[in-house]
Amino acid sequence: MSAPVALSPAQVVLVRASYAAITRLEQDYSARFYHRLLERHPFTRALFPDDLTRQISVFRLTVDALIAQLDQPEAQPGAARAALAELGQRHVGYGVLTHHYAYVGEVLLDTFAEMAGDGFDAATRTAWEALYAAVAQAMLDPPVPAAERKP
């Protein structure tokens, strides 16, 4: 899935560098993220399975894929946005509401900032905010049927 946003080349470098630093740490950011999310917003516990092991892994793999393809041109225009819209629709089925995206973004960026330390400066945070905002918006957009996607 390619990113549904055009980050500047400098922002891509910042996001990738900070993500690489975070993923090299012993503690898994994804597990820490879910711990913080449930701690700050306990009502979200009802949205997840009792055992978060698979959820933690899938979340990390999804972010890995997003970062890996951040500056690659999409093979099929609109495919990434459509995939994210479909993911968003699945989240609606899980009980996720529009305002939950702000909670997730805040906790995710705070988790990254804490883990990256001094490496997560204002410019890096701004780059991540732009990326998260675009992903969240794509997830909130209604999915485009495959027949209507641009080839």
Q: Answer whether 109's CB lies under 8 Å from 29's CB.
A: no
**Residues shown for the chain:** 151
In the prediction, which pLDDT does 150 show? 52
> Mean pLDDT in runs of 10 for the chain (151 residues)?
69 95 94 97 94 95 88 58 84 88 96 94 96 91 58 48
Q: How far apart are CA 16 and CA 34, in angstroms?
A: 21
Q: How far apart are CA 39 and CA 18, in angstroms?
A: 24
List of domains in the chain: 9-144 (1.10.490.10)
Alpha helices in the chain (DSSP H): 9-23, 29-40, 53-68, 79-94, 100-116, 122-140
